[in-house]
Structure 1
Amino acid sequence: MRPRVLVLGGGFAGLSCALALPAPRFAVTLADRSQSFEFLPAIHELVSGLKDPAQLRLPLKAVLARRGHRFRRGEVERIDPVARTVHFTRGSLDYDRLVIALGADDADFGVSGAQQNAMPFKSVAQCAAIGRQLRALLRKERPGRVTIIGGGLEGVECLGEVLRVRGSRTVPVTVVEAGPRLLPGAPAAVGRYLADHCETAGVTLALGDPVDRVTPRTVRLASGRRLRSALTIWTGGPAPLPLLAGSGLAAPGRWAGVSASLHLEGHEDIFVAGDTAELPEPLARQAYHAMDMGRHCARELERQERGLRPLAFKATEKPQLIAFGERDCLLLQGRHALASPSLALGKEAIFQAVMAQLDQRPLSDRIAALLRRGAGARESVSWPVPRLGELRRRGRLRILC
């Protein structure tokens, strides 16, 4: 009898794991609360309307069926590792092997009013809603301030799209970051470069001053400063899912600790991949790492069935591309950084390649999806073949550090 493998989560890690498992040897079911895979690294472009939601989604049921796997839609309520059962809000599923790839929650840092009064920036639906709200705001005679809370990767990419939509209109925009600079995890030269961009664009930076409270119309900072805000966007980063602690798989407020081979500590029949996992050596929570982790889990499941010893997951560092609207794009690799609008071509190419790789539907469906995605990219990169003038305009390359 084929071992029953239950994969929780249809994001980069979970879907990559499921697609790498051969149906003849494993009975695979992937469960997710959404019916679609979402390409989250591009959701900032929904804010400006450069992309639409359909371009960033793949239908999980159809993609999995092509590989001979099943899809179960449902919200995970509790995991019982002793009984080897996952309980959903409706029903339950038993498993022989479990892969947890449920991603992360929104980190609100206990800020009063954050969940109720700020718009979250974590999903396709949320970013599309931000875009609608932003465009409605800009139609007003006096639109008011746009406040972005969080100056990390999500905050910077969100800011770029807000500026794209704002154009030459005199709409005040403020970015609040608890750290000393934008992209606090990057080299200081990157933060200075982005600060110069913000000064040129008339963006106000509130750095080193964490948010204390969010109301429907204001943002109060720890210093006591109050900002009137017509639209408040929350990009606070990831936090561990309460489900982990509630199922006894992690300490409260902690990620799921895993071995070097991505086994959940103390559970040889459970693997953890993607944002949910806390590896022995810290690893950035990036989509390409999640995909590699998902595929590693699939290989480990096959090795386990063959009675082979586990192998350690080896992360491969790749350059990180960070978009700043139509103004610029950054490439970070370790302590080195480059900047050029032309780098947006690379970011778009990665999006197209990964979506094509994950899409397992019939060829005609995949080609149609590729053309739809490409048509949506023409405004930013003149897809599929950039004009020579476009390349010249975007060709400036600056070495930041």
Structure 2
Amino acid sequence: MKKVLVLGGGFAGVEAAIYLRKQELEVTLVSDRDFFYIYPTSIWIPTGEATMEDVSVPLDELAFAHGFQLIVDPVTALDAKAKKVTLQSGRVLDEYEYIVVAMGQEKIKLEGMEAHSLSICGKPEEATALHEKLDALVQKGHGKIAMGFGGNPKDTSAVRGGPAFEVLFNVDTYLKGKGIRDNFELTFFAPMEKPGQKMGDKALVMMDKMFKMTHINKKIGVKITAFEEDGILFEDGTKLESDLTMFISAGVGHSIIAESGLPLSDAGFVVTNEYNEIEGFEGIYAIGDTASLMGPEWRAKQGHVAEVMARNVAYNIFQHMQRIDSKHSYMEHLNILCVMDTGNGAAFVYRDNKGGKMIPMPIVGHWMKKGWGWYCRNSKLGKIPRLPGM
């Protein structure tokens, strides 16, 4: 039986391991942590509506449910030509015919960012830290909160804007529920002129209305230069004062991948074709945030696209083993799709080549996203059937 090594325990890696096992292949998944983290539902951790345990699934349970081998040990080196992987423990993995690289991405680092801001899209522990800092401000009864995201001029797909909007609107709802919203100054910040433009012009108009309705301030269109303990500095010489700063930095290629010998984009992501194959490296595939995403300017790295890549690669590897010239591409599935939660409702966001739309879903939208979180956990564990295409 052919052996496949999957590097990464996120959406792309877990989905690849599950679907490779459906092809009855021998699969080993390597992860730097022992749980699969459901980032889209971590937005409720800062307000105390969820805990880290609520949005985590133990990888050993997933491995048992689907029959893949699990190694929890960070990757320290990848030699792509030799198909050799070195782990932090010193263990070397070099007996695999196929390697699926799904190690995610790293973040662009700005001055003071790591010391003076927290991210909802960073290490899982940061979401809990956000909850603790927000709770301290609530106990105090007043404060200034700033939340935003950054961009990457070298790769516009590597931007996580949606979660920043979600946490901000959830905090607004949370403070209103406490009866203390008027005692807090909430500000959204981003360096681009039209943050959220990927969603389309109609969505931008609706977002602007939402900011006005919730009395959330905006500081946009000016480059961020540094983070300080009490605020954010901008290129125009201004400072946004903040007692609690959440910032989602744009992504860049993983440092391990940079030394792997694989072909990279200007932003450090692995260059693949639409089948996630890598020219000159037969048997090695890159998926999810690790891969340089092809497509139009509005494209975005999202979990559902990563999972499409993973399922395709499982199919493509199996076909390759059978010497059958049949491959699946992710290009026809390229779109922006999300339910943007606000704590008391949500908005359905969709964007493709025909344009974008945002549909308000008061009350029911919040519970739809809650339901998706339950579905994600239980379908991954094999406790309920997967819906077609999901």
* TM-score relative to the length of structure 2: 0.85
SS of 1:166 mapped into structure 2? helix
Contact 1:176-1:210 within 8 A present in 2 as well: no
2:377 aligned partner, one-letter code: M
Would the aligned equivalents of 1:160 and 1:326 in 2 still touch at CA under 8 Å?
no
| Runs of 5+ consecutive residues of structure 1 not aligned to the other structure | 368-401
Which whole-Å CA distance do the structure 2 matches of 1:183 and 1:74 have between them? Answer: 36
1:128-139 counterparts in 2 under 5 A? 128-139=128-139
Residue pairs, 1:358-397, within 5 angstroms: 358-360=380-382
Partner Cα distance (1:343, 1:153) in 2: 15
Runs of 4 or more, structure 1, over 6 Å off, are none
The CA deviation at 1:279 is: 4.1
TM superposition shift of 1:24:
8.3
Matched letter for residue 344 of structure 2: E
**Are residues 1:126 and 2:144 paired?**
no
For the residues of structure 2 that align with 1:323 and 1:231, how far apart are their CA atoms?
Answer: 21
- 1:97 aligns with 98
Q: 1:223 is matched by which residue type in structure 2?
A: D
- AA paired with 1:135? D
TM alignment of 1:2-401, pairs within 5 A: 2-22=1-21, 25-90=24-89, 91-94=91-94, 95-108=96-109, 111-122=110-121, 123-141=123-141, 143-150=142-149, 152-167=161-176, 168-169=179-180, 170-251=183-264, 253-282=267-296, 283-314=299-330, 315-316=332-333, 317=335, 319-326=337-344, 328-334=346-352, 335-341=356-362, 342-360=364-382
Maintained 8 Å contact 2:206/2:358: no
TM-superposed deviation, 1:327: 5.1
SS in 2 for 1:278: coil
CA contact 1:56–1:124 (8 Å) conserved in 2: no
Match of 1:5, SS state, is: strand
Q: Structure 2 regions of 5+ residues with no counterpart?
A: 151-160, 386-390
Q: Hey, what's the Cα distance between the residues in 2 that align with 1:328 and 1:73?
A: 36
Give the partner amino acid of 1:67.
Answer: H
SS at match of 1:257: coil
Distance 1:35 1:135 in 2: 28
Summarize the Cα distance change of 1:140–1:288 in structure 2 as closer, same or farther, 3 Å threshold. same
Alignment CA distance shift 1:22-1:207 (3 Å): closer
Output the aligned Cα RMSD.
Answer: 2.2
- Deviation per CA, 1:318-343: give whole Å up to 9, x if none: 74221123254243243222112233
Shift of 1:258: 0.7
Instruction: Tell me the alpha carbon deviations over residues 12-37 of structure 1, each in whole angstroms, 9 at most, x when there is no partner.
Output: 11111111123884221101011001
Aligned CA distance change for structure 1 residues 279 and 219 (closer, same or farther; 3 Å): closer
Change (3 A) 1:249 1:346: same
Q: Residue deviations 1:227-264, cap 9 Å, x none?
A: 22111111123322122112122446321011221112
Indicate if the aligned counterparts of 1:212 and 1:222 stay in contact, CA closer than 8 A: yes
1:158 Cα deviation after fit: 1.4
Distance in 1 of aligned mates of 2:35 and 2:167: 22
* CA displacement 1:296-337 (0-9 Å, x = unmatched): 111111111111225141342474221123254243243222
- Opposite residue 163 of structure 1, the aligned amino acid is D
| 1:176–1:211 CA contact under 8 A, matched in 2 | no
For 2:371 and 2:337, locate their aligned partners in 1 and report how far apart those are by CA, in whole Å. 14
CA contact (8 A) 2:345 2:365 kept: no
Distance 1:278 1:133 in 2: 35
2-structure distance, mates of 1:339, 1:56? 25
Question: Is the contact between residue 6 and residue 29 of structure 1 (CA under 8 Å) also seen in structure 2?
Answer: yes
- Alpha carbons 1:23, 1:68 under 8 Å: kept: no
Q: Map Cα deviations across residues 29-49 of structure 1 (whole Å, 9 max, x no partner).
A: 101011001111111111111
How has the CA–CA distance of structure 1 residues 189 and 181 changed in structure 2, closer, same or farther, with 3 Å as cutoff? same
Partner Cα distance (1:307, 1:328) in 2:
47
By how many angstroms is 1:7 displaced?
Answer: 0.3
| Residues 75 and 86, structure 2, Cα contact 8 Å, conserved in 1 | yes
2-structure distance, mates of 1:278, 1:266: 16
Change in CA separation of 1:318 and 1:356 when aligned onto 2, cut-off 3 Å = farther
How far apart in 1 are the matches of 2:50 and 2:273? 39
Distance across 2 between alignment mates of 1:238 and 1:180: 19
Cα 1:195–1:23 shift into 2, 3 Å: closer
The 3-state SS of whatever aligns with 1:130 is helix
Say which SS state the counterpart of residue 275 (structure 2) adopts: coil
Counterpart-to-counterpart distance in 2, 1:327 and 1:26 = 42
Q: Compared with structure 1, are the counterparts of its residues 187 and 105 closer, same or farther at alpha carbon in structure 2 (3 Å cutoff)? A: same
Q: TM-score, normalised by structure 1?
A: 0.83
Is the partner of 1:119 in helix, strand or coil? Answer: coil
Moved more, 196-205 or 268-277: 196-205
Deviations, residues 154-191 of structure 1 (Å, cap 9, x unaligned): 21011012212322321111111112234122223322
